[in-house]
Amino acid sequence: MERERGKGRMEEHPVEVEHYAVEEARSPSILVIDDDPMILDVVETALSEEGYTVTRADSGRAAVAAARTQKFDLAITDLRMPGMDGVQTLAALKEVSPETEVIVATGDGTIETAITCMKLGAYDYIEKPFQVKELHAIVARALEKRKLAGIVSLYESSRKLLATLDHPELVHLVTQQGRRLLRADEVILLLEEEGSYDIHTSGGELQIPATVVRSIARRSMADGRGMTSLYCQARNRAGEPQGVLAVVFPLIGSKKRLGVLIALYANPHQERCEREQGSLFATLATMALENAALYKEVQIHLEAQRRSEAQLRHNAFHDALTSLPNRALFLDRLSNTMHRARRHEDQHYAVLFLDLDRFKIINDSLGHATGERLLVETARRLEACLRVSDTVARFGGDEFTVLLTDIRDEQDVIRTAQRIHQVLEKPIDLNGQRVFISTSIGIAFGSPAYESPEEILRDADIAMYQAKERGAGGHVIFDAEMHFRAITKLQLESDLRQALARNELAVYYQPILSLDAERLVGFEALVRWNHPLRGFVAPFDFLPLAEETGLIVAVDRWVMREA
């Protein structure tokens, strides 16, 4: 199928086309083949009186030549002819024009041959000599069969057209089926779409310029009528100019005009389909094209909806800034990993909790936009130094988590932590500003003791804070003692907050002596905490905690009031 595209409105073109009204009815065309001129005369007269269009051929070769230039509804051939006999003529006609029905006329002693011809595709046979009434009856039956065959073929085509929703496939089907059903030498489909047009051809015997196609379509649109006919210029396969008949079927949809279907005939008087059948095919083609367009719109809508849903799912489980998995997705993957590890004892995993050192200073001094770019670059570097099977997520703020699966031993995890330190310690250029960053990493190894993802994350987080306390850019592996210290510290903080309200603090005064004057010059107020369960808590146990939590301000004020 050939195709040509164009844009813009259909412009005026200096193309000569002659318009005329299509005939309401066309008499069936019959090819009569016999080497006896008298029989040709008799048959031609008998058929012409019934209104049929008769073409004579005195040999099989002449008949085949006529069939190559003109299509016939029916052929009546004698069996006994010199040169190409009736059997050979039948075979050649069926090859040139498979749709043409064939009746064989046979003399005495050739019935068997006539039956053989019927097996080869002949409609029926008539014995010589025959009565004119017999001839009229068998011709009427053959033409009625031809008409019914056209209706059946149209029905089959309609099923194919209406079942085809792919637009390119449908366009190809319309032109190919159209050329066969309309019995045309070429069929052209011109489709309009918001100022653009597509021209599709069936690749038949005739070629016509796009300007002529547009001119024909424009003339048909101006008419505003149904099927019309035009004479126009075309070229045959040899490139020779040739006047042709163009039968134009408008394709008018439920809401707008879709275009036109143009059937080209090299011979204006050649066999064509019935007008009703041609119009019905154009209507079916219009319905099929509208169905395909609606299907395409629905598919576009569904695809947009699928993309939107996929984006929503992505947004629900990924960080908007870095596109890394977020907390929810990380927890889900960690949960699945823990379930697999419970079923398979040889599957080991570990969780790394990362916190960027000095990020707040960079973010406050260089601005939030620079801080965000730093987080994005950190995410890309983390992705680059991990395996595809590992998961790195942005857990929140400047915190990242890593899930390592299928690890062999502790050294695998330590090497990964060291690799992360190396890639993050390289300078980062942010709009000309070279920034250096490091990270503190807490490591927790998977264990059957963990019942939930939150528990192992908690321990990795504890180890990360231990790493920070030891200095930036380090990593620490969690152990049970860390958890105990963390719990103790948390409880101590809670008790310290209540100690102020419960008046558990006490002030002790330490004298200050002047060695030179050998006299008392003042007192130093020292705060002590008398815990109801633990007894006296050493200052170095609770004062650093008070400074870390901000409670030191309240403690200082209490001491000043008491002193």
Please report the pLDDT score of residue 24 as a whole number. Answer: 43
| Predicted confidence band of residue 271 (pLDDT cuts 50, 70, 90) | low
Average pLDDT of the residues in 123-137: 86
pLDDT at 172 (0 to 100): 87
Residue 475 near residue 421 (C-beta atoms within 8 A)? yes
- In which band, very low, low, confident or very high, does the pLDDT at 499 lie, cut at 50, 70 and 90? confident
Q: Which CATH architecture has domain 2-21+164-296?
A: 2-Layer Sandwich (3.30)
- Judge: domain 327-478, CATH 3.30.70.270: yes
Residue 496: pLDDT band (50, 70, 90) is: confident
Q: What are 188-243's pLDDT values in tens digits?
A: 999 887 767 789 988 888 888 888 888 888 777 766 667 788 888 888 888 888 88
Stronger pLDDT, 268 or 515, i.e. the higher one: 515
Provide the pLDDT for residue 355: 95
Residue pLDDT, tens place only, 40-77: 999 999 999 988 889 999 999 999 999 888 878 899 99
First vs last C-alpha separation in the chain: 102
Arithmetic mean of pLDDT over the chain: 83
Print burial letters for 297-333: b (CB count within 10 Å at least 16), e (below 16).
eeeeeeeeeeeeeeeeeeeebbbeebebbbbebbbeb
Q: Is the pLDDT of residue 13 over 70?
A: no
Cα dihedral 546, 547, 550, 552 sign: positive
Whole-angstrom distance, CA of residue 475 vs CA of residue 441: 4
Where does the pLDDT of residue 472 fall: very low under 50, low under 70, confident under 90, or very high at 90 and above? confident
What's the pLDDT band for 14 if we cut at 50, 70, 90? very low
Q: Is 31 helix (H, G, I), strand (E, B) or coil?
A: strand
Q: How far apart are CA 376 and CA 366, in angstroms?
A: 15
HSE-CB at 380 with a 13 A cutoff on CA atoms is 7
Bigger pLDDT: 522 or 476? 476
Report the pLDDT value the prediction gives residue 8, as an integer from 0 to 100. Answer: 36
Q: Where are the domains of the chain?
A: 2-21+164-296, 29-152, 327-478, 489-562
**29-152 CATH choice from 3.40.50.2300, 3.40.1190.20, 3.40.50.720, 3.40.120.10:** 3.40.50.2300
Question: Cα–Cα distance between 395 and 402 in angstroms, integer?
Answer: 10
Give the pLDDT confidence score for residue 157 in this predicted structure. 63
pLDDT at 563 over 80: no
pTM over 0.75, yes/no = no
> Can you give the pLDDT at residue 12?
36
Give Cα 28 to chain centroid, integer Å: 50
How is residue 436 annotated by DSSP?
Answer: -
Summarize the confidence of residues 323-328 as an average pLDDT: 94
Percent of the chain with pLDDT over 70: 88
What whole-number distance in Å separates Cα of residue 278 and Cα of residue 26? 13
Residue 10's pLDDT band, with cuts at 50, 70 and 90, is: very low
Instruction: Please check the confidence at residue 386 and state whether its pLDDT lies above 80.
Output: yes
For residue 323, what pLDDT band results from cuts at 50, 70 and 90? Answer: very high
Residue 445 CB partners (closer than 8 Å, separation 6+): 348, 349, 350, 410, 413, 477, 478
What pLDDT is recorded for position 112?
74
pLDDT for the residue 156: 65
Q: What's the one-letter identity of residue 176? A: Q
pLDDT above 90 covers a percentage of the chain that reads 29
Confidence band, pLDDT 50/70/90 cuts, at residue 487: confident
pLDDT in tens, 419-450: 999 999 999 988 778 888 999 999 999 988 89
Residue 22 is predicted with a pLDDT of 42
Q: List beta partners, residue 519.
A: 514
Q: Is the dihedral of CA 268, 269, 270, 273 positive or negative?
A: positive
